[in-house]
Structure 1
Amino acid sequence: MTSAGLVPQIFRRCSRLTPLLTLLTALAPAGAQPVQPRATEVPPLNTGGTTRQLEQSWDQLNRQMEALDSMLGPAPSLDSSDDLAAPEVPANLLDANRPASGPLSPEEARPDGPLSLPAAGTPANPIKAVSLKDAIAIAFQNNPNLQLQRDQIAAQAATVAAAAGSYWPTISVFGNVEGFQSGTTTYSPYGNNTYGFGPAFAAQGQMPNFALTKNGTSVSGDSAGPFYVPAGGGLGAVANGVSADAGLQLNYALIDFARTPRVRAAQAVLEQQEKTYANDLRALQLAVSEAYYELQRSEQLVRIRDAVVRTDLVVLEDVLDLKRAGLVPRVDLLRRSAVLSADQEDLIQALADRAVARRRLWTVLNLPASVTPSAADPISLQPAWPLNLDQTLLAAYDNNPELEAILATRRALALRQDATAAQLLPKLSLFAAAGGLGSVERLFNFSIIGGGCCGATFLPLEQVSGYEWSVGLAFNWLIFDAGTTANSVKALALKERAEAQRYASTRNDIRLRLEQAFLNHEASLAKLVSARRAVGASKEAFRDTKLRYQTGLADDIDLSVTQEQLVNSLVRRLFATVDVNTTYARLLRELLPMPSDPSMTVPARLTLSRSEGP
C-alpha cells in the first residue's frame, strides 16, 4: 500500500475515535491543563491539509489518555495469567440466574395473602419453570385486579337485584312491649257543681239532687252527685302495668316513573363492569405474553453472550500460542484481551437483564415471594397472522369489550337522566296496616286530698284489649326544587356527551394499536428472513476469517470485525423472532374473545384461526 493510500485509511480509523475523544475530554481531571487552540485554523486533510494536523491530533489524544490514566490509576499488568481471567460476577446475580429446579406446581403458584409482607430471613427462592399457557392461566387466577373486578361485578349484580325489588311491595311486621310505672296526683282548687252539668255533679243539698234509696223502695235523703268534686279536693295514686301491640304493615309504590330507569341504569353499570373485565383479561394476557417473550429473549441472549465469551477464550488461546511462536505482534494479544473483556461485560449485563425479566414475569403472575419463574418453552415462531389489515380492523371493532364498556356507560348515564327527571313527576303509593293491642294497669297507694276527687274514674285494675286496621293511598308531587333536578339532569347529559368523545378516542387508539402491531409484525417477519441469511453468512465468514488468521492471511482486526458481525446477526435474529411473537400477541389482544362472566373459565389461547375473522 502506498503512502498516498495509507494516510486516508489512518484518518478514517482516527475519525472513529471522535466519540471517545469527547468522552475522554469530559472525564479529564480538573487539574489537567486544557489544550490551547492554535492561533490559525488548520484546514482538514480532505481540503488541502497536511499530515501535520494528523500528528497534532495524535499528540492531543496522547495527552488526554495520560490525563485519564492519572485519574483512573495505573492499568493492571498484562501477564499471560491475566489474559484468560474472568471478572468476578456478583453472588446475588449468580443466584438470580440459577437454572430451574423443576416445573411450577399449582400449589407453588398460589399467591400470598393480599395483606402479607415478606418476612425477615426468607430462604432462597427456588427457580421454577413455567410454560406460556400455564403462565396465562396462573395470571387469570392470581391477578389481584381481576379478583377486585370479580367482587365489584358480584356487588353490582346484588345492586341490580335490590333495584328490581322496588317492583314488589314491602311487608313488615311491627311489635312493641312496654312495662311502666307512674305516680299521679289529681287536685281541683274549685268545685265542679257550678257549671250546670246536672244532678250527677251537684253538691249535697244542692237542688236538683240524687235521692238515694234503700232496697229500691224508700228515700234516705239527698246526697252529693257521684261526679261532684269539692273545692280543694284531690286524689293521689301509683299506677304500673304492661302494654303491647303488634301487626303487619304493607307499602307498595303503584306509580313511580323513576323505578324502571333506576333498574335499567343499574343493569347498564353491571354490563359496563363485565365488559371492562373482559377487556382487562385481554390486556392481562398481553402483559403476560410480553413479559414471557422478554424473558425468553433475555435467556437466549445469555446463551449467545456466553457462547461469544467461550469463543473469545478459544481465540485468545490461539493468539497466545501464535504470540509465543512469534507469528503475531503483541497488539493482537491486547486487542483480543479487550474484545474478551467487552464481551464479558455484555454477558454480565445479559445476566442482570434475565434476572430482571424473571422478576417482571413474577410480578405479572402475582406469584408467592418464595418462587421465581423461568421460561420452560423454547423460542418458537408463531404462525402467520390469518387476516389482512382490513379484516383485522373489522374484527377488532366487532363486539369489542373496550368499546362496549363505553357504550354501556353512556346508556347508564342516559337512564340516570330519566330517573332524575322522574323526580318531578307524581308518585302514588298504597299503604295498609292491621294489628292488635292489649294492656294491664293497676292502681294502688291511694291518698285522698281534701274532700276527695275523681273516685269514679280510678280503677284498681284495668285490662284493655283491641285491634285496628287502616288502608289508604299516598300521593306526592314535587312541583318546585329551585332547579336542583334540572341541573342534575344537565350534568348527566354532559357526562354522556363526554363518553361519546371517549368512544371516538378509544376507537382511534384501537386502530393505531392494530396498524402498528400489524405493520411491525410484517416487518419483523421480513427482518427475520434477512437475519437468518445474515447468520448463515456470518458463520461462514467467521469460520473462514479464523482459518485465514491462523495461517497469517488475515489480521486481528478482520477477525474482530467478522466476530462482531456474527454476534450482531445472532442478536438481530433473536430480536426479530421475539418481535414476531410479541406483535402477534398484540394483534391477538385486540381480537381474542373473552368471557364477561367472572364465573366462566377463561381459556388460555395463543393463536387465532381464520374462521374467527369477519
Structure 2
Amino acid sequence: MFTANRTRLIWTSFFIFLLMLCNTKAYSKVKDIEGKTLTLDECISIGLRTNPSAEISLQNMKAVQEKIGEAKGGYYPSFKLSSSYTYTTPLDGNVGASPDNYDTRFSVKQTLYDAGATSNLIEGVRQNIKAQEYDVKKTALDIILNIKSAFYDVLKRRDILKVSMTALATTEKHLAQSKELYKEGSAPRSDVIKSEVRVSNAKLDVIKAENALLSAKANLATAMGQAVTTDFNVIYHNEGLLPILPSFKDVLLFAYDQRPELKGSRARIESAKASIDQTKSGLYPNLGLDASYGWQQDEFSPSEKKWSIGLSVGIPIFEQLTVKSKISQAAANLNGLKAAETQTIRNIELEVQQAWLSLKEAMERLDVTKKTLEQAEEDMRVSEGRYKEGIGNILEVIDAQTALTQARTNNVVSLYDIAGSGAKLDRATGKEPMEEINK
C-alpha cells in the first residue's frame, strides 16, 4: 500500500533499527523536529530511531546474545591457579621443623565428551536469540503501526477542523443574510436568532476540532518518541490512502508466512527441544581430561614439584530420578509452547480477518459518503436559493447546513479510516516496508 518511492526511506530505516545494536546510544537521542514539516516516511524513520520501545527490545536482544559466549564456554578448557601459605606453630622438641609452608598449583580441566550437553545448550541459546530478533521485528512493526495510525489521525483532525471552519464561515454568511432580510422585512426576527445560535454552535465545533488536532499531534509525537509539547506539522498526499483490497485468502497466507510472533514462537519451540536434549545428556557418562602441576616448599626443604595428568569419567548413578524429573519438566514446557503457538495462530487469523473486514467496510462506506456528500451539497444549494428568494425558511437552511457539515465530516472520516485500516492490515499480516502481498 506504499509506492516504491515513498517506502524506500521506511525500508532503510527498518534495517537501521535492526542493525544499530552496536550503537544503541543513538536511540537515546531525541531528534529535533521543532517547527519542521514531516512526511509519513520521515515520521516512521524518526520513530524507529527514537521511540524508547525500540531501545528496550534491542537491549533485551543484546542480553540474550551475550549468553552465547557463556554457552560456548563448555567447549573450552578451564584453568585454575592457586597458592597457599600455612604457618604451623612448632611443638616442643620438634627441632628443625619449619613453621612456614608454601604451596602453589596450576590445574587445567577439559571436557572431552558430555553427551551433547554443550552443543544442545548452544543450540537453545541460538534459537532464543532468533526468537528475540523476531521480537525486535514485532516492536518495529508496532511502532510503525502506531505512527501510521497517529499520523492519519492528525490528517483527519486537520481536515475536520477545515470542515468546521468552513461551516462557521457559512453560518456567519447565513447570519448576515438573515439580518439583511430582516431589515428588508422579508424574514422574521426569529431567523436572526436561530442563525446566531447556529454561529455559536459552529464556533464551539471549531474549538473542539482545534483541541482534537492538538491531541492528535501529541499522540503522534509520543509514537515517535518525542515530547508531547513538540510543535511540528505534517504533510501527505492522498494517493496512498486508497489501497486495493486484496483477497482474504492471500492476506491470511501472507500472515502465516510473515508474522514475527509466529516465527518467534517456532524458534522458542526449537529452543525447548534443544533444552530437552541437553537435559537428557545427564543420563549418560561424561569424559574429561585433568592435568595439574605444582610445587611445595618450606624453610628447610628444597622445592618439591609435582605434576599429574589423567582422564576422569563421570557416570550418573543416583541422579537418574532427578534427571528424568527435569526431562518431564522440559517436555511440559515444550507442550505449553506448542499450545501457545496454536493460540498465536488463532489470534493472527482473528486479527487478519478483523483488519480485512475493517478495510472492506471503510472502502464501502467511502462510496456511500461520497454519494451522500453530493446530495447534501445539492440540498444546500436548493435551500439557500429558496431562502434567498423568500420562499423558504431559515430552518431549512440550518438543517441543510447541518447535514452538509455532517456529510463532509463523514467523508473525511471514511477516507482516513481506509488509511488506518490499511495500516492495521499491514500489521496484522506482518508486512514489512516494500513488501507487496499480490506479487
Match of 2:72 among 164, 168, 175: 164
Report the alpha carbon displacement of residue 293 of structure 1 after superposing the two structures with TM.
0.7
Residue-by-residue CA offset, 1:170-208 (whole Å, 9 max, x unaligned) = 3x2525374x7665242xxxxxxxxxxxxxxxxxxxxxx
Match of 1:130 among 15, 38, 55: 38
> Aligned residue for 1:576?
414
> Aligned residue for 1:296?
155
SS of corresponding position for 2:83:
strand
- Where in structure 1 do 4 or more consecutive aligned residues deviate above 4 Å? 110-114, 180-183, 235-242, 378-381
Structure 2 residue 35 is the aligned partner of structure 1 residue 176: no
Match of 1:352 among 203, 211, 215: 211
**Compared with structure 1, are the counterparts of its residues 477 and 372 closer, same or farther at alpha carbon in structure 2 (3 Å cutoff)?**
farther
Give the structure with the larger strand fraction.
1
Report the alpha carbon displacement of residue 575 of structure 1 after superposing the two structures with TM.
0.8
> Aligned residue for 2:223?
364
Match of 1:499 among 320, 333, 337: 337
Q: In the TM superposition, what are the counterparts of 1:280-319 in structure 2 within 5 Å?
A: 280-319=139-178
Report the alpha carbon displacement of residue 513 of structure 1 after superposing the two structures with TM.
1.9
SS of corresponding position for 2:110:
strand
SS of corresponding position for 2:304:
strand
> Aligned residue for 2:23?
none
> Aligned residue for 1:513?
351
Structure 2 residue 78 is the aligned partner of structure 1 residue 251: no
> Aligned residue for 1:434?
293
**Compared with structure 1, are the counterparts of its residues 498 and 439 closer, same or farther at alpha carbon in structure 2 (3 Å cutoff)?**
closer
> Aligned residue for 2:61?
153
Q: Is the 8 A contact 2:380 2:397 kept in 1?
A: yes
SS of corresponding position for 1:266:
helix
Q: Which amino acid aligns with 2:132?
A: Q
Q: Is the 8 A contact 1:282 1:590 kept in 2?
A: no
Match of 1:394 among 243, 253, 271: 253
Supply the distance in 2 between the matched residues of 1:420 and 1:235 (Cα, whole angstroms).
56
User: Structure 2: 5+ residue runs without aligned partners?
Assistant: 1-25
Structure 2 residue 283 is the aligned partner of structure 1 residue 376: no
Structure 2 residue 323 is the aligned partner of structure 1 residue 323: no
Structure possessing the higher radius of gyration over alpha carbons:
1
Match of 1:562 among 400, 403, 412: 400
Supply the distance in 2 between the matched residues of 1:491 and 1:370 (Cα, whole angstroms).
51
Supply the distance in 2 between the matched residues of 1:392 and 1:362 (Cα, whole angstroms).
31
Aligned residues: 412
Report the alpha carbon displacement of residue 247 of structure 1 after superposing the two structures with TM.
3.4
Report the alpha carbon displacement of residue 365 of structure 1 after superposing the two structures with TM.
0.9
SS of corresponding position for 2:413:
helix
> Aligned residue for 1:414?
273
Q: Larger RCO: Structure 1 or Structure 2 (Cα < 8 Å, ≥ 6 residues apart)?
A: 2
Residue-by-residue CA offset, 1:255-308 (whole Å, 9 max, x unaligned) = 334222222111111111111221222222111111111111111111111111
**Compared with structure 1, are the counterparts of its residues 379 and 348 closer, same or farther at alpha carbon in structure 2 (3 Å cutoff)?**
farther
> Aligned residue for 2:315?
477
**Compared with structure 1, are the counterparts of its residues 375 and 422 closer, same or farther at alpha carbon in structure 2 (3 Å cutoff)?**
same
Q: Which amino acid aligns with 1:388?
A: S
Residue-by-residue CA offset, 1:384-415 (whole Å, 9 max, x unaligned) = 33632211111121143211111111222222
Q: Which amino acid aligns with 1:609?
A: E
Q: Is the 8 A contact 1:185 1:237 kept in 2?
A: no
Supply the distance in 2 between the matched residues of 1:527 and 1:249 (Cα, whole angstroms).
76
Structure 2 residue 49 is the aligned partner of structure 1 residue 141: yes
> Aligned residue for 2:11?
none
Give the structure with the larger helix fraction.
2
> Aligned residue for 1:468?
306
Q: Which amino acid aligns with 2:310?
A: G
Report the alpha carbon displacement of residue 379 of structure 1 after superposing the two structures with TM.
4.5
> Aligned residue for 1:490?
328
Structure 2 residue 177 is the aligned partner of structure 1 residue 339: no
> Aligned residue for 1:522?
360
User: Structure 1: 5+ residue runs without aligned partners?
Assistant: 1-109, 115-124, 187-233, 442-461, 595-604
Supply the distance in 1 between the matched residues of 2:316 and 2:167 (Cα, whole angstroms).
83
Supply the distance in 1 between the matched residues of 2:334 and 2:296 (Cα, whole angstroms).
58
Q: Which amino acid aligns with 1:419?
A: Q
Match of 1:586 among 424, 428, 438: 424
Q: Which moved more, 1:251-260 or 1:314-323?
A: 251-260
Supply the distance in 2 between the matched residues of 1:474 and 1:153 (Cα, whole angstroms).
38
**Compared with structure 1, are the counterparts of its residues 237 and 243 closer, same or farther at alpha carbon in structure 2 (3 Å cutoff)?**
same
Q: In the TM superposition, what are the counterparts of 1:11-26 in structure 2 within 5 Å?
A: none
SS of corresponding position for 2:317:
coil
Q: Which moved more, 1:542-551 or 1:354-363?
A: 542-551
**Compared with structure 1, are the counterparts of its residues 301 and 401 closer, same or farther at alpha carbon in structure 2 (3 Å cutoff)?**
same
Supply the distance in 2 between the matched residues of 1:310 and 1:149 (Cα, whole angstroms).
50
Supply the distance in 2 between the matched residues of 1:567 and 1:503 (Cα, whole angstroms).
48
> Aligned residue for 1:531?
369
Q: Which amino acid aligns with 1:276?
A: D
Report the alpha carbon displacement of residue 570 of structure 1 after superposing the two structures with TM.
0.6
Q: Percent sequence identity over matched residues?
A: 19
Q: Is the 8 A contact 2:107 2:290 kept in 1?
A: no
Residue-by-residue CA offset, 1:32-64 (whole Å, 9 max, x unaligned) = xxxxxxxxxxxxxxxxxxxxxxxxxxxxxxxxx
**Compared with structure 1, are the counterparts of its residues 151 and 392 closer, same or farther at alpha carbon in structure 2 (3 Å cutoff)?**
same
> Aligned residue for 2:436?
609
Residue-by-residue CA offset, 1:465-492 (whole Å, 9 max, x unaligned) = 2322111222223333584433333233
SS of corresponding position for 2:246:
coil
**Compared with structure 1, are the counterparts of its residues 608 and 319 closer, same or farther at alpha carbon in structure 2 (3 Å cutoff)?**
farther
Q: Which amino acid aligns with 1:321?
A: E
Residue-by-residue CA offset, 1:217-276 (whole Å, 9 max, x unaligned) = xxxxxxxxxxxxxxxxx3678956673635352332423342222221111111111112
Q: Which amino acid aligns with 1:166?
A: G
> What is the Cα-based RMSD across aligned positions, in Å?
2.8
**Compared with structure 1, are the counterparts of its residues 562 and 402 closer, same or farther at alpha carbon in structure 2 (3 Å cutoff)?**
same
SS of corresponding position for 2:302:
strand
Query: TM-score scaled to structure 1, two decimals?
Result: 0.62
SS of corresponding position for 1:398:
helix
